[in-house]
C-alpha cells in the first residue's frame, strides 16, 4: 500500500497560530502524517500539547533535546518530510531563512530540509510591505520556495489590509494540489475550460426560465483539474458555490453570455469540459417592465439558443471536447447521438431520475462514451471523486493528441 504523505508543519509566533492548529487537524483527517515544530514565541499563543494531541506525535521545539540517541532530531525530521509548510510564517522566520541563519530547532531543520517548502506569511500590513521583507521573500522565491498568499481583511493589530494568513481550508487545498500535481504530470500547464451551472433566460425584470442545476459537478471538475496543475477557466452560470481554489471564474447569466465567454477562449484551450446545463430555449421577447397579472392565460413565444457544444465541435482543431448529457430515458442512444452530431471526443451521461444522481446532490453516477465506441461506468460516488475518474478517462485522449 502507498504510505502516508508526510507533512512537516513549522509554526512560528503570531495570532494565526490557532489556524495552524486547525490545519493540523484537517491534514490528519485527510490522511497525512504530520510532525510539528514550534518556535518559543509560537508557544505563547497555543500550547505544544494542543499540537501533540492533534498530530498524534511528538512536538519539536529544542535543538538540544534528542529523544532518540541514534538520530539527530533536526536532521531526521528534515529527511522525513515529503513537504514542509511554514504556517504562520512571520517576518522574522522569512528573514532568517533568506539569510541562512540557523539559531533554533526550526531554522536548523529548514536549512537541512530537501523537500519542497511552502510559506504562509502572516503579519501586519506594513510589515508585509516593508522593503526588507519583500526582498527576503523574493530571495526565498528564487530559492524555489512557494508562497501561499495572505488574505486581505481585518488584522489582529487593528489594521485592515493584506497580511492575514490564508484559511486552513486554503492551506489544505494547496497541500492536496502539491501531491495531486506530482501524481498527474500530464495535466500540468494544460489550458482547461469548464462550464458549470444553469443559465437564466429573462422574461421580465422579475421572472426568468432556468433549471435545477447547482453547478456542483462542473465546480468539482474545475477544482480537480486545477489541483492536477492545469490552468483552469470556469465559466459559470448563477451558483451559490464557492469559487474553487486556483481557478479563474467567469460569471455569466444567460446562454448567450456563456456562449460568448466560451467561444472567445476556445482557440487557446487544450481541453473543454462542458458540464453546464444551458437553456435550449429563451423567450423571444423579454419585457422591460414587470408583466402584470391578468385574468386570462398567457403564452410566451420561445426561440432556440445557440448550441454551444455543437458550435465548438464545428470549430474543433486540436482541442479535446467533452460534453455532458443529463437524460431521463434512452441514455446510451442519446449520448452516442450527441457524440456524432456535436463532434465530441467523450461524453458523460447520467440519469436524472435515479436517486443520488444529477442536479442539486453531492453524488453522481456517470456512463462515459467515447468517439471510438468504448464505454466506461463511473459508479455512484461523490462528485469530486467522479471528477477524478472523468479526468483519468481523458488522460488517453491527451496522450493521443
pLDDT tens digits, one per residue of 128-171: 999 999 999 999 999 999 999 887 776 666 767 677 899 999 89
Catalytic residue among 28, 157, 300, 357: 157
* 349 neighbors 324 (Cβ within 8 angstroms): yes
User: Among 165, 183, 180, which residue's Cα sits nearest to residue 9?
Assistant: 165
| pTM to 2 decimal places | 0.72
Q: How confident is the model at residue 65 (pLDDT cuts 50, 70, 90)?
A: confident
- Asked if residue 1 has pLDDT above 60, the reply is no
Give the whole-angstrom CA distance, residue 260 versus residue 73. 58
List pLDDT tens digits, range 7-53: 999 999 989 999 999 999 999 999 999 999 999 999 999 999 999 99
Give the whole-angstrom CA distance, residue 188 versus residue 255. 30
List pLDDT tens digits, range 91-120: 999 999 999 999 999 999 999 999 999 999
Give the whole-angstrom CA distance, residue 300 versus residue 140. 62
Q: Which three cell numbers stand for residue 188?
A: 500540468
10 flagged as catalytic: no
The mean pLDDT value of the chain amounts to: 92
Domains defined along the chain, listed by start: 6-177 (3.40.50.1950), 185-280+302-400 (3.40.50.10300)
Amino acid at each position: 500500500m502507498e504510505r502516508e504523505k508526510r507533512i512537516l508543519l513549522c509554526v512560528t509566533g503570531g495570532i494565526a497560530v490557532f489556524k495552524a492548529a486547525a490545519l493540523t487537524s484537517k491534514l490528519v483527517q485527510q490522511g497525512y502524517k504530520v510532525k510539528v515544530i514550534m518556535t518559543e514565541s509560537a508557544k505563547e499563543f497555543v500550547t505544544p500539547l494542543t499540537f501533540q494531541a492533534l498530530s498524534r506525535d511528538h512536538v519539536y521545539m529544542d535543538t538540544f533535546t534528542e529523544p532518540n540517541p541514534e538520530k539527530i532530531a533536526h536532521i531526521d525530521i528534515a529527511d522525513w518530510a515529503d513537504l514542509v509548510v511554514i504556517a504562520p510564517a512571520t517576518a522574522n522566520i522569512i528573514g532568517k531563512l533568506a539569510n541562512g541563519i540557523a539559531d533554533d530547532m526550526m531554522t536548523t531543520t529548514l536549512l537541512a530540509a530537501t523537500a519542497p517548502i511552502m510559506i504562509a506569511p502572516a503579519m501586519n500590513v506594513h510589515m508585509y510591505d516593508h522593503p526588507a521583507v519583500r526582498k527576503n521573500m523574493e530571495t526565498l522565491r528564487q530559492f524555489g520556495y512557494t508562497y501561499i498568499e495572505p488574505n486581505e481583511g481585518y488584522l489582529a493589530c487593528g489594521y485592515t489590509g493584506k497580511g492575514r494568513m490564508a484559511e486552513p481550508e486554503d492551506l489544505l487545498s494547496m497541500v492536496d494540489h502539491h501531491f495531486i500535481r506530482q501524481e498527474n504530470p500530464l495535466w500540468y500547464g494544460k489550458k482547461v475550460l469548464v462550464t458549470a451551472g444553469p443559465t437564466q433566460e429573462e422574461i421580465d425584470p422579475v421572472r426568468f426560465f432556468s433549471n435545477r442545476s447547482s453547478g456542483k459537478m462542473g465546480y468539482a471538475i474545475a477544482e480537480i483539474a486545477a489541483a492536477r496543475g492545469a490552468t483552469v477557466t470556469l465559466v459559470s452560470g448563477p451558483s451559490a458555490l464557492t469559487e474553487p481554489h486556483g481557478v479563474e471564474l467567469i460569471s455569466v447569466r444567460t446562454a448567450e453570455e456563456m456562449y460568448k465567454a466560451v467561444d472567445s477562449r476556445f482557440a487557446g484551450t487544450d481541453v473543454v469540459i462542458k458540464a453546464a446545463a444551458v437553456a435550449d430555449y429563451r423567450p423571444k421577447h423579454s419585457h422591460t417592465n414587470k408583466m402584470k397579472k391578468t385574468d386570462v392565460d398567457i403564452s410566451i413565444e420561445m426561440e432556440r439558443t445557440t448550441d454551444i457544444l455543437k458550435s465548438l465541435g464545428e470549430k474543433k482543431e486540436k482541442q479535446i471536447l467533452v460534453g455532458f448529457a443529463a437524460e431521463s430515458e434512452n441514455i446510451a442512444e442519446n449520448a452516442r447521438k450527441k457524440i456524432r452530431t456535436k463532434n465530441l471526443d467523450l461524453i458523460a451521461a447520467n440519469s436524472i431520475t435515479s436517486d443520488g444522481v444529477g442536479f442539486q446532490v453531492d453524488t453522481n453516477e456517470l456512463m462515459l462514451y467515447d468517439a471510438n465506441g468504448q464505454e466506461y461506468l463511473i459508479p455512484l460516488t461523490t462528485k469530486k471523486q467522479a471528477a477524478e475518474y472523468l479526468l483519468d478517462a481523458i488522460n488517453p485522449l491527451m496522450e493521443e493528441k
